[in-house]
Structure 1
Amino acid sequence: MPDRILVINPNSSAACTRGIAEALAPLPRLADLALEVTCLPEGPPAIASWEDWHAVALPLCRLVERTPAAAYVIACVSDPGLEAVRAVTPRPVLGMFRCAVAVAITRAERFGIIGFVAASQARQRRALQAMGLEARLAAWEPVDLPMEVLTDPEAPRERIAATARRLAAGGAEAIILGCTGLAGHAALAEEASGLPVIEPCRAAGAMALLAAMGH
Structure 2
Amino acid sequence: MERRILVINPNRDRACTAGIAAAVAPFARPGHARFDTIALEEGPPAIASWRDWFSVALPLCAAVQAEAADAYVIACVSDPGIDAVREVTDRPVLGPFRAAVLAAMARADRFGVIAFVEASKARQRRVLLSLGVEGRMAGTEALNLPMTALTDPEAPRAALVRAGRRLVEAGSGAVVLGCAGMAGHQTFLEKELGVPVIEPCAAAAAQALLAIA
- Tell me whether the two structures share a fold, i.e. TM-score over 0.5: yes
Cα separation, 1, equivalents of 2:40 and 2:142: 24
Cα separation, 1, equivalents of 2:164 and 2:180: 16
Partner of 1:18: 18
Cα separation, 2, equivalents of 1:212 and 1:45: 31
Cα separation, 2, equivalents of 1:66 and 1:24: 22
Task: State the 1:28 CA deviation.
Answer: 4.2
Provide Cα deviations, 1:124-170, integer angstroms capped at 9, x if missing partner: 00100000000000010011100001000011111111111111011
Provide Cα deviations, 1:73-111, integer angstroms capped at 9, x if missing partner: 000000000000001000000000000011111001100
Which piece of structure 1 moves more, 190-199 or 91-100? 190-199
Partner of 1:196: 196
RMSD: 1.1
Provide Cα deviations, 1:8-54, integer angstroms capped at 9, x if missing partner: 00000000000001111222414142100001000000000000000
Partner of 1:77: 77
Partner of 2:114: 114
Q: Is the 8 A contact 1:161 1:188 kept in 2?
A: no
Partner of 1:139: 139
Partner of 2:52: 52
Cα separation, 1, equivalents of 2:189 and 2:126: 24
> Structure 1: which amino acid aligns with 2:149?
V
SS class of match (1:172): coil
Query: Does residue 1:129 correspond to 2:129, yes or no?
Result: yes
TM-score of the superposition, structure 1-length normalised?
A: 0.96
Q: Is the 8 A contact 1:162 1:192 kept in 2?
A: no
Cα separation, 1, equivalents of 2:57 and 2:186: 28
Partner of 1:102: 102
Q: Is the 8 A contact 2:28 2:35 kept in 1?
A: no
Q: Is the 8 A contact 1:76 1:179 kept in 2?
A: yes
SS class of match (2:38): strand
Q: Is the 8 A contact 1:7 1:75 kept in 2?
A: yes
Task: State the 1:2 CA deviation.
Answer: 7.8
Moved segments of 4+, more than 4 Å: none
For structure 2, the 5+ residue unaligned runs are: none
Which piece of structure 1 moves more, 188-197 or 55-64? 188-197
For structure 1, the 5+ residue unaligned runs are: none
